[in-house]
Amino acid sequence: DAMVIQNPRYQVTQFGKPVTLSCSQTLNHNVMYWYQQKSSQAPKLLFHYYDKDFNNEADTPDNFQSRRPNTSFCFLDIRSPGLGDAAMYLCATSRGRNEQYFGPGTRLTVT
Burial of residue 73 (number of CB atoms within 10 Å: 0-12, 13-18, 19+): middle
Q: Give the integer Cα–Cα distance in Å for 11 and 8.
A: 6
Among 33, 34, 64, 89, binds another protein (CB under 8 A): 33
- Among the residue ranges 10-18, 65-73, 75-83, 97-105, the one whose residues contact another protein (CB under 8 A): 97-105
- Closest C-alpha to 92, from 44, 42, 25: 25
> Pattern of binders to another protein over 42-61, x per CB under 8 A?
xx-x--x-x----x------
Give the footprint of another protein on this chain (CB under 8 A): 31, 33, 40-43, 45, 48, 50, 55, 90, 92, 94, 97, 99-105
